[in-house]
Amino acid sequence: MSSETQLREEIAKHGKSLFDRGLTSGSTGNISVRTEDGWLMTPTGSSLGDLDPARISKLDADCRLVSGDPPTKEAFLHRAIYSERPKARAVVHLHSTHSVAVSCLCGIDQNDVLPALTPYYVMRVGKLPLIPYHPPGEETLAIEVANKARDHRAVLLANHGPVVAGTDLASAVYSTEELEETAKLYLMLQGQKTRTLTCEQVTELERRFPAGDLHPFEKLPLG
């Protein structure tokens, strides 16, 4: 288990990486990590590109602010995920461009937004449900997110962006990046005849790398 100081530094490091590569902008997006006695969360109104580890919000098990700046206004999204995924140790929420663009399209499958274009998407994200639009900060959104989080490690908020859980911060970030890249591929391929993975290929990936809380690459065979 990493120390709180290490976790704070990891949040700042990954936040800056996401910001510098254009996966989030301005003061959008937020990150949280579960600790033994609560959570660390990025503060409200902060830029992921310029986080001060010492000012990251620390919340206790009852979600009361213990130290640091006030937490993100979307803390309820993180709590909804954690409540249904007890093995989740981190959550990333972004307003990443291509994922948001897909969430604005008409006619997408609300039970599984993106097709299985690559094995890595199936392994890192799996089926991606769309959560209907709610105004920013509306806490009733937490109920719908929690309902989907029981069976999915990631959800896509309509006209808003992805929320992704992981067994640690790195896995949550990598899964979010895989989702964004798949959304980009999906948009690039619009209007083109596309070969997706077959149902049999997806089933085999799901058999070898079951969707759930364990990071898929921890199950890769050795040798």
Active site residue 74: yes
Active site residue 218: no
Q: Which helix (H) or strand (E) holds 162?
A: strand 161-166
Main-chain dihedrals φ then ψ at residue 116, nearest 5 degrees: -80, 85
> 10, 74, 177, 180: which is the annotated catalytic residue?
74
- For residues 40 and 72, is the Cβ–Cβ distance under 8 A? no
Q: In Å, how far are 26, 58, 64 from 43, measured between CA atoms?
A: 13, 9, 13
> 4, 9, 84, 120: which is the annotated catalytic residue?
120
Return the residue matching tokens 């995924």.
Answer: 85
CA–CA separation, 90 and 221 (whole Å): 25
10 Å CB burial of residue 195 (0-12, 13-18, 19+) is exposed
**In 10 A of CB 159, how many CB atoms?**
10
Please identify every residue annotated as catalytic: 74, 120
